[in-house]
Amino acid sequence: MKAVVQRVREARVEIEGEVVGAIDAGLLLLLCAERGDSQLQADRLLAKLLKLRIFSDEAGKMNRSVQDVGGGLLIVSQFTLAADLSGGNRPSFGGAAAPDEGRRLYDYFVQQARLAHPVVATGVFAADMKVHLVNDGPVTIPMQIS
């Protein structure tokens, strides 16, 4: 699985002008299931995400996790993270999981996140979404779990 994690002061997802998911301070996660991924990769990514120490402590060092600071998670499906540009300027998305499998793994990830963390919001799988965020830092971290 691939993900891009952004530490945010606030973030929201809109579909046709309606807010479908929003958080205050926390993490915005753009999530991509790739071909061959399973629940094992989802579990490993979630465990790493929840312990990722990218929030400042009293000394200003990135030493706290989203769980430590009580931040929210906004999880957005993003198959375009599987883009392959090796064949030219038009990306190929053949490395992304098939839509049914991608949805299954996305739903599983969200379900597990809700069991492990108190504040979880989402976008809508395969929808045309507008993502609004105020990046904090900015701090943006790419993640990949094989």
Look up residue 89 and give its two tokens.
């300027």
**Cα 83 versus chain centre, distance:** 16
Rounded CA gap, 140 and 138, in Å?
A: 6
Q: Which of 39, 80, 111, 144 is catalytic?
A: 80
Catalytic residue among 6, 41, 55, 78: 78
Residue 122 annotated among the catalytic residues of the structure: no
Query: Could you tell me if 33 and 106 are in contact, meaning their C-beta atoms sit under 8 angstroms apart?
Result: yes
125 is catalytic: no
In contact, 53 and 64? CB cutoff 8 Å: yes
Catalytic residue among 41, 55, 79, 122: 79
Residues 43-73 as b/e (b if ≥16 CB within 10 A, e otherwise) read: bebbeebbebebbbeeeeeeebbbbeeebbb
Q: Any catalytic annotation for residue 79? A: yes
The answer to whether 79 touches 32, Cβ cutoff 8 Å, is: yes
Q: And the tokens for 134?
A: 């105020």
**Catalytic residue IDs:** 78-80
